Chains A and B, each alone.
Chain A
Amino acid sequence: MKVSLVWSSPKPERTIAVAMRRCFSTKTIEEIEAELEQKGVEYWRYLLTKALQDKSLDVLEHFTLSLLAEGMTDADVGRLIRGFPYMRATGLGGGSWLVSLNARTLVELWREPEGKPFAAAIVSELDGRQVCPVFNQLAFGDRTNAG
């Protein structure tokens, strides 16, 4: 199985932080974004840590990803979609699939044995491209054995 990133939400950790601040702030979106830029990545890390600790995973749904998955059979994909219905897959032929999911589903995949290998391949791809280093560190911890 090979997974390549096609697209992800811009500044994923900040996007999650925007959703979190939206719940607790009366500010406009521009003011929230300016506050998040000014406070920087350590503040985003603080908010993300809180979301994960409180199990407020809904905010992760605003970080979305599209991937090219290769070397997967119809049965492989069927099993994943049945277990994780918020993930979307479109067959491109020859064992290739366009797959889209959000970060909440990625966390849920990671936590279930049947989803873990696919999640690990995605996390490894995100690591390689430095898409969301803070999120990966907080959500998936030590990934030396992630496969």
Chain B
Amino acid sequence: MRVKLLYNTDFEALKRVFSEKGAAFDPSALLDHVVYMFEIEDCSRVTTHQLVRHRAASYDQESQRFSAATREGVVTPPSIQTNEAAYKAYDEALKVVYAAYEKMVAAGVPKEDARYVLPSAIKTKLVMTVSARSLMHVVWQRTALQAQWEIRDLVNAMLNLAREATPELWGKVIER
């Protein structure tokens, strides 16, 4: 999985407006104004199903209607990877599924219909634009111990990038 910050709002530029107008400044005032645009690559569709439930954000995701799926492009959870019997079953299932997908596409079925057989393990790419306030909510929910490993990894990566880009915002607010 790879997460890249494409841009973020210039925190200092917004902060300057407060001083120019003589308004009292608290970083939390900028939670709704600072946004981050992330590129997320090669996480599973299991995880993006969880991610897009956070509705106060904007998403555009690689469409399976138009791009062909490949056998190589799947995420294998560690619990399966490290269990020989489980991995064998997983791998066999994927082989059957992908063979069916390829047969259907070769037989003229549109990719948008053939994809119905594809697994949720399939890797995907998407862009996400989110305000600091919404991201903070996602962080609180999805870095908790009860959250699943993959979205926890993803959101921790997003948090690190956001914190690095706008330390004053996250340093003050995340502690609450």
Interface residue ranges, A against B (CB under 8 Å):
6-7, 9-10, 15, 18-20, 22-26, 28-29, 58-59, 61-62, 64, 66, 68, 88, 90-94, 96, 98, 100, 102
Which residues of chain A come closer than 8 Å to B7, judged between CB atoms? 9-10, 15
Do B37 and A62 touch across chains, with their CB atoms under 8 A apart? yes
Encode B5-45 as 1/0 by CB contact (under 8 A) with A: 01101100110011001110000011011010101010000
Number of A-B residue pairs, CB cutoff 8 Å, is: 97
Which residues of chain A come closer than 8 Å to B39, judged between CB atoms? 22, 29
A-B contact pairs, 9 of them (CB 8 A): A7-B10, A10-B7, A15-B6, A18-B6, A22-B127, A29-B4, A58-B59, A92-B21, A100-B35
With A and B bound together, what is the CA distance between A18 and B68 in angstroms?
Answer: 20
Which residues of chain A come closer than 8 Å to B18, judged between CB atoms? 92, 98
With A and B bound together, what is the CA distance between A29 and B58 in angstroms?
Answer: 17
B118 nearest CB across to chain A (Å): 14
Do B32 and A29 touch across chains, with their CB atoms under 8 A apart? no
Chain A residue nearest to B124 (CB atoms) is A26
